[in-house]
Structure formats: structure tokens, C-alpha cells
Chains A and B, each alone.
Chain A
């Protein structure tokens, strides 16, 4: 096998160990790489001619990107995990104990295991290049740093800062790394070679070494109190735990495990601390939540690379100028998004007052970003200048893409597109941000329906990463590829879904929502239902969600779905009454709940009994079952009908579009862990005891017969693979 490390020693005793993983664009640690590094370090411990060792990477913009995630995912036994981690510990300890100074030369990404290696070096230097970033992202994958990161980082940069980096999983840039004393020196990338030589020489002089070490000392009374006194430390941990629990709802074990390790080990000897680290990592890797998070990470990576088509060549067209039709909440959000990436956006509305609203929503989002210093005022000014308004079609001849976000009304939309087609270039792409209308129907009378595609954003656009891309049967593949690539550039996750009422996410979510409405109608307590669903991990219970979306909006969509799917999406009458009574939800402060400032309470004033009165009780098991199984059944129908290509895409879409709890891995992942037999049994049970809408769909029976699971189905897949 080709070697990943090359060693070079010059006449002055400066050695360079260069990491260059064969056939990869990034350096990552795998078991064999770690093994090779270990053997190098064994030899290096006895090298007499070396005065200082530089560890470098031969990859562009990458020092070491971390450990190979596939290996972590594949590991089956606890013993094997423990072996892997212990091996890493041994190798890095060996590095730490080399008899001469070692320097990690960080030019590019330095994450996870890469940073842990750097931490085991005597010194770290960074280049000021924009790509240089240092971090321990492990918690976002459900694990914790396992190769000494929890020990060496807080000991180097202090408990508060170290904990912050470990718990947030966020990487920092070179300047911040130098400021936090994680890096001992920062060099201009262009002059790295010379600066490095100087630094390597300095490292051999005792006085200079002393200077570097002195710079790392934490200063100030507060930091002394918080880090060096037991009382201060316990305060730090208490606050950290509180904020972790608030953020994760206690569903994610990794940050808590990281905290536990820090709390138990920060004040003791590092080698005892490392043992505690191993203990916790082993427990985590075995945890199903970790496996779920890693699997989702892979789905995310797959989606990033997915061009949107099965057999796509690079046919994406260049997009420069854009327009948004309709300056409502969605139109404003989309205009903001385009302006953020500095695409000129023409905003067309029927009145300038409407256009002003789009400007307001864009500025509002920029104001939030200004507040947290994610953007500078001059950038906001420049980006806001991307916007221009119009009440006619002036300027439309030069546009590459037009995104329609007007009122959800088929007749009006069709009329607008007919009008629009007369004012644009023949190769301009048309999109509709419809959330429920059929793409095929909208494009029925178009002259060029092949350039039209659905592009369904979720509200609020700046916070929701998912965009459903809905081709009709006429949509040109080039258009799909172009739109997918544009959305990726905008930082969104586009997922291709089929053209059916509600598309994928709303169709599945509303199956659950209508079930919650049925439960309520049967007399189950509203707040109880919300609490059960929230305890499951959904960000909002169905009634709070309905209030947030707006009862009128929800009612309109449910009606549409009822028309398409019949009984199983039936909207109970009281929903209509609510609309008539002007109980529209948060927007007018009264819906299922009453809203006052930041607090909410049951709408006890409502004349609708099911809302105002406490209801009868049902077991939380039944409530949750009915909510989940109605969604699951609908999800299977979507697979069956080819609405989505892959089960793990479906799971990702629900997580990104509805906030389905990631720690559960996804709706279909959850179904796999329950087992098809259990699902069918329960569905049949509810089908008899509640309503025939629970009758399991054909796909479920097919899967039962073929003993399939949604994930890792091999050979004959019971759902079709979409070809578009």
C-alpha cells in the first residue's frame, strides 16, 4: 500500500513529516493511517539528528479534516471501538513525548482528530488563509472528541473557551485561534516557508520557548476564579449544563457526555483524564442516536453531491439576474436569500406598498445578522442594492430565472404565468413557490412548460434549509439541474419530489396534523396532545404549529388535500368555525391558544368546546401512535407513488422541513427500529378501533412479505426508483 506519510530531515536537523493520504483530496485518519503514523513516531523517538519536527499536510487548503466517519459508523463491537481509541491515544501521547519540539503547521481545515493531533504537538502555527479553520465538530455527529481533545484543548486555552468549542462543535478561524492562544503564531500564507523556518529556529532556543509558553498563560482575576477554584468551576459547569439542556431538550447525549468528561477530568492528571474520555466515547459510539446522526450526516453529504437527476451531466445554466413575483412573506424571504448571495433581484408586485414590504423583510433579516455581527453595515447596503422594485414587467427580458410567490390560487397563477411568458426571454426559467397546487396544472396553458418547475421554500426562508423541487412530467432536465445547483449555491438543501397535492413534506405532516384534529374532536385534551408530540421531539405540538402557520392557511391546505386524498385527510368542521370566528392563530393573537407577549394559554374564551374545555383522557401511547402512524402510512404511500426517490431523502426532508427530531434518525429509520410487523399490527388495530384511514398501505404488506427494511434494502427494492 502507498504510504500516507513522508519524512524528510534537512542538514540543520529540521525534520518534516508530511501527511498526504494517497488518492484523496483531504487528509483523514483511518486505522491504517494511524498505524503508519504510530510506527513513524516510534522511530522518531530515537532519531538523534532531529532538532525540531514539523508536521505538515501536502493537501491544498487542508491540514487534517478529522477521522474517517465511515470507520466509526461501521464499528460494531465495543471492544473494537476501545481499541481504536486507545490506539489514537497511544500515538498522540507518543507524539507529545518526543524529546524535541514539534510544530503542527496548519494551513487549511484542521478538524476533529486533526486538531487533536495538533494539540499533542508542542506548538501550533496557523496561516491567515480564509480556509484555515480549527474545531472539534464531534458533538454534531453525536460523539465527543476521543483522541485527547477533551483533555488537551481546555488545558491549553482554558476551561470556558475549550468547553465552548467542544460543546458548540463550531470551528474558529486562524485569527481567533491565535487570539485564544490555540495557535502560537500566525503567518501570512504567501510567506509561510520563510516564517516557518524562523519559527523552527526559535523553537530550539530556550528563551524563545519560554516567551511562547508565557504568552499562553490565562490572565485576569475572573478567569482565575472560573478556572482555578472549585467553586468557580462548578458555576461554569452548572451554567453550561443548563444551556445544553435548553438547546438539546436533553435528547442528545453527546454534549452532556462531553460536559461530564470535562467536569470529572479538568482538575486531574491528563493521563487519568484520557481514561475517562475513553470511557465516555465508548458508551456514545454504541448509542443508536450517534448512529442516527452519523447516518444523517452521510445523507447530507449525498444530497450535497446529488445534482438532482439520476444521470446528470453538467448541464446547469449560469444564473445572474433573478426576479420574485409577489412581495409577501415568502417573496420577501426569497428576495433576501438571493440578495444575500448578491444576485440582482427584481421584485414585482401590484403595488409599491407591497414592494416596500419585501424590502422590509429583507432588511429585517439583515438587521438580525447585524445584531449578531454576522455581517457588516456596508455589506448590508451593497446587498440591499441587489433589490429593485417594479409594478410592471420592465427589465424582465434580461432575467435568467423568475420565482413566483403570489397568492395560492390556481386561476390567478395561471393567468400571471401567461402574462409573464410574453415578457421574458425564451430560455428564462420559471419557478413557482406554491406549497400545494399541482405543478402540472399551473403549467397547463404555458407556451413553454418545459422551462417550469416547482420550487417550494419553507417559512421562514432564512431559517428553513429545505427546498422541495418539483418537476412536472414536462420539465426539461437542464432546468432541474440548474435550479438544484442555484439552490445549493444559496445554501439550501434542495430535494426533488413528485408533483402531488401537498408534495412530500406537507402531505406527510398534514396526515399527522389532521390526526391530531381528529383526536381533539374525539375529546382528547389539546394541551395533552401537544405535550405528547413535543415530548417525542417535534419542535412544536400540532396545535401550536397550526396557530403559528395560521389557521386559515392550514385550513385551506387541508381542504385541498382532502379533495385529493379523501377521507384520510378530512378537516373537522370546527376548523372552519375557527376561521369564521377569526381565530387565526398567532397573527391575531387567538387560535387554539391565546397569545400575550411571549406567553400562551389555552383559548378558554373560545365558543368551540373542544378548544376551551379540558377534554377526556387517552393514553399518551395512543396519541403518539396515531400521530406517527398516520404520517408513516402517508410516507409509505409517497414512496409507493414515487413522490420521493430514496427513503433516507424522505427522512432528511422531514427533518429539515418539519423539524422532525434528528436524534430519531428519521421517520422511516424509526419505522425500521419498530419493525414492519409491529407497524402493521398497530395500524390494523387502529384501523378497526378508530377508522379505516389507518389501513396499512400496500407497500407495507409488500415489505412484510419480502422482509424488507427501509434502510439497507438490498436486491429487489419494493418501491420504484424514480427516473426523471
Chain B
């Protein structure tokens, strides 16, 4: 067995090259480009929506944290237990916020990185 073209294979090579297949559809190229463009447009729309959703999420998170902090400071002057519960609540709120922020970041990165030039 050899990986070189033998003289006896020339007829097979010539036959195959003479009868090589071509795509019959004249619109193949345009069909592919249209699908690509549609996918790109869809990806851009989804990314835009994700980013807007993320900004709203950050705003809500900041408002929530600010409310907790204000409540803690106003409780500190009155008793001991309420601030403890408020601090625990703030901690849980922060953890949930960080996890979700990381989630958003991962989704946006994944969606952006499939093609490096999607803006």
C-alpha cells in the first residue's frame, strides 16, 4: 500500500476530476450568508437585552444594599438583636447578588466570545 498516486490510478483521478460534483443550487452562497446575518442580528439583540437586564439588576442590588445599610445603622442605636438579623440578611443578599452578577457576566462573555467582533 502506498500513499502516492500510482500510474494505474491516473484514470480514476481523471474520471473523478472530470465528474466532480458541484452544488446545483445557484443561491447556496446567498442562503448561507443570509443565515449568518440572521444569527448575528439575533445574537446582537439578545446581547443588548442581556446587558440592559444586567444594568437593571445592578441598580436593584445597590438600592437593596443601601436600604439594608440604612436600616442597620438606624437600628444600632436601639437594640442588639435586630441588627444581627439585618446583617445576616444583608450577607445573604450580597452572596445572592454576587452569584447572579457572576452568572450574568458568564452568559454575556459566552455570548460575546463566539465571534470576537460582535459589538
A and B held together in a complex? no
